[in-house]
């Protein structure tokens, strides 16, 4: 469907994790304002389907009408939504990664139906695309693209959630040498009630974690009752019992004993796409909140006129816009690497897999950022609705219930925080990322006399860029000292790792917002983009304070004496930013949305 946008040239894009030690450029930055006409049409097609076919039936879906869910999945398949990112030779549309991001954002506006779509197109389909042999791809992918086949992913067990490799489900090679016998129990399996095939992970010979493609209609598969969940009630979630299920040997996915590569690498894409989806959910929820604030009157005026409500609406928009900036920045990085790898002769599926693995740190951070932005947005939407927000007659309650799961699946927020820092440190230990040289340079800088002059010089956003540069120093200082103290034992210090992760997430988000703002000013001029400048500056101001506080908590936990004093002084020096009237800026942001009666800025 699409041709490569990067014409056989070597890209100068940053590699995964390099955002912490190198400067980024607007030249290679991708933003949602760069959406092509074809991409706009594709996103509009998905949006219209959700508005016309899904939203009118949201109550039926939420009450567990899975026949309707299946029917809508098949309709989406006919439109090409389910196979959008699959190669055309397997019945897909072959769209690039950026286009797929726009699709994910639109699907994120469809409440719990979107969960069924995500499970099917992501963890249900991608293992076959990335790790299946040619026969498996030809057998399953066309049906998955069209919606004739529905997929589910069977990884979690009662005793193994975050510790997926501790799974006890076993697969035993039968005497005929041609079949495996799978026995075990899986739980929290999305789409299990209507799936046609399962991606199942089991232990071969007790310790060889392996993936299988299993026909869901096989004998000796039993399903538990539908889970009575807090939210996403429209998605089918059941336990799956494999009680001696005979599976052909040719249904092994990838290699025996290499299932962890499938489970973990597919989750990189899943984490990114979750962020893109919750971004769509956040925008839809802000629309609801703004409209209600304009309609609801108290003390003889709309509540949208009150400062307390203005603050909430503005903060919802700020976090969403900044999350969007980070999301599409990462989408562009992954897309560019995919095109570069394809230009070098790699097939599309392998290129996507390797690009997502390269940016696994960014994907983990985005999963945390996006899920927590949506949680904030839905919580404040309920609050703006007051008592009506607690009533199921209004959409706020459903959004609140549905959002909570996002901090749990695709790896909990805690796991992803630990992973983001752990993967950075592992890259450094392997020599793939030089964190230690700049960290040592910062230690020397702390011994020098600081400059008390104006922060930055020249350029539209010189102060902001100097601030970003210093925030990186703050993080490297804390992470470097922490790594030096704990060495190989650092992964046991989870509280410290999560503090550093939060510092990294704030930095990546703030830098993404600044890059996007600068690019908008360069292309559209300052006057038409002043509100985006307000958003960026407000977020950066708050991020500096959070980074200082998280850094302080970390260094006080392990530092002492002169070393501690030096790090605290360094944190104060590196997290300074100019004074910003954030109350006035938030009022401007809120007033724009209130005037438009929706999220548009």
Active-site amino acid positions: 410
The residue assigned the tokens 């089918």 is 236
Give 314's contacts (C-beta < 8 A, 6+ positions apart). Answer: 538, 585, 586, 587, 589, 590, 593
Quick one: which of 176, 234, 168 has its CA closest to 200?
Answer: 168
Question: 306, exposed or middle or buried, with CB in 10 Å at 0-12, 13-18, 19+?
Answer: middle
* Residue 586, number of CB atoms within 10 A of its CB: 22
Read off the DSSP letter of residue 492.
G
CA distance 50 to 111: 10
Q: Mapping DSSP to helix (H, G, I), strand (E, B) and coil, where does residue 204 land? A: strand
Token pair belonging to 378:
């839905």
CA distance 379 to 391: 14
Token pair belonging to 534:
């307000």
CA distance 546 to 559: 19
Quick one: which of 562, 573, 567 has its CA closest to 551?
Answer: 567
CA 234 → CA 207, 226, 471, 555, distances in Å?
Answer: 36, 11, 43, 45
Helix (H) or strand (E) segment spanning residue 447: none
CA distance 224 to 240: 6
CA distance 359 to 352: 11
Read off the DSSP letter of residue 108.
T
CA distance 179 to 103: 39
Please provide residue 34's backbone torsions phi and psi, each rounded to the nearest 5 degrees: -90, 10
Please provide residue 408's backbone torsions phi and psi, each rounded to the nearest 5 degrees: -110, -55
Token pair belonging to 251:
């249904």
Half-sphere exposure of 574 (CA within 13 A, CB side): 29
Question: Across the chain, which distance is largest between two alpha carbons, in Å?
Answer: 80
């Amino acid at each position: 469907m699409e041709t490569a946008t990067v014409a056989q040239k070597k890209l100068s894009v940053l590699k995964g994790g390099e955002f912490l030690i190198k400067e980024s450029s607007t030249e290679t930055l991708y933003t949602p304002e760069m959406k092509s006409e074809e991409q706009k049409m594709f996103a509009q097609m998905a949006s219209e389907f959700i508005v016309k076919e899904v939203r009118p039936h949201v109550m039926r879906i939420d009450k567990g009408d899975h026949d309707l869910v299946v029917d809508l999945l098949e309709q989406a398949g006919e439109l090409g939504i389910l196979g959008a990112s699959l190669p055309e030779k397997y019945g897909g549309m072959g769209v690039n990664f950026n286009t797929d991001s726009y699709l994910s954002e639109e699907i994120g506006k469809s409440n719990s139906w979107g969960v069924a779509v995500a499970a099917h197109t992501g963890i249900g389909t991608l293992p076959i695309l990335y790790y299946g042999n040619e026969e498996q791809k030809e057998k399953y992918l066309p049906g998955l693209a069209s919606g004739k086949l529905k997929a589910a992913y069977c990884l979690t067990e009662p005793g193994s959630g975050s510790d997926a490799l501790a799974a006890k489900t076993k697969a035993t090679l039968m005497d005929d040498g041609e079949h495996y016998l799978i026995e075990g129990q899986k739980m929290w399996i999305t789409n299990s009630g209507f799936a046609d095939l399962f991606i199942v992970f089991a232990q071969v010979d007790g310790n060889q974690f392996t993936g299988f493609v299993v026909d869901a209609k096989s004998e000796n598969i039993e399903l538990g009752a539908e889970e009575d969940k807090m939210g996403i009630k429209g998605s089918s979630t059941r336990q799956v019992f494999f009680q001696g299920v005979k599976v052909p040997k040719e249904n092994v996915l990838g290699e025996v004993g290499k299932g962890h590569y499938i489970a973990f690498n597919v989750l990189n894409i899943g984490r990114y796409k979750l962020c893109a989806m919750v971004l769509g959910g956040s925008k839809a929820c802000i629309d609801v909140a703004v409209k209600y604030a304009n309609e609801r009157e108290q003390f003889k005026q709309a509540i949208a006129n009150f400062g307390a409500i203005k603050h909430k609406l503005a903060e919802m928009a700020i976090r969403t816009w900044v999350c969007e900036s980070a999301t599409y920045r990462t989408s562009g990085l992954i897309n560019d690497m995919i095109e570069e790898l394809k230009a070098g002769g790699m097939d599309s599926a392998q290129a996507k897999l390797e690009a997502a693995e390269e940016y696994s740190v960014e994907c983990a951070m985005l999963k945390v950022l996006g899920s927590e932005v949506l949680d904030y947005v839905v919580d404040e939407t309920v609050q703006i609705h007051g008592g009506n927000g607690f009533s199921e007659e209004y959409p706020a309650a459903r959004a609140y219930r549905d959002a909570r799961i996002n901090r749990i699946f695709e790896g909990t927020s805690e796991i992803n925080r630990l992973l983001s820092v752990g993967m950075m440190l592992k890259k450094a230990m392997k020599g793939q990322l030089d964190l230690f040289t700049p960290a040592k340079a910062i230690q020397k800088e702390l011994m020098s006399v600081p400059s008390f002059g104006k922060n930055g010089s020249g350029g539209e956003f010189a102060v902001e860029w100097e601030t970003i540069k210093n925030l990186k120093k703050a993080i490297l200082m804390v992470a470097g000292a922490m790594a030096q103290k704990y060495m190989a034992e650092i992964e046991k210090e989870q509280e410290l790792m999560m503090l550093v992760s939060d510092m990294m997430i704030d930095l990546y988000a703030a830098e993404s917002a600044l890059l996007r703002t600068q690019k908008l000013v360069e292309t559209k001029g300052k006057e038409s983009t002043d509100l985006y400048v307000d958003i960026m500056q407000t977020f950066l101001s708050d991020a500096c304070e959070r980074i200082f506080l998280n850094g302080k908590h970390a260094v006080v936990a392990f530092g002492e004496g002169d070393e501690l004093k030096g790090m605290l002084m360094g944190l104060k020096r590196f997290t300074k930013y100019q004074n910003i009237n954030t109350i006035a800026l938030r009022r401007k942001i809120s007033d724009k949305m209130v005037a438009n009666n929706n999220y548009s800025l």
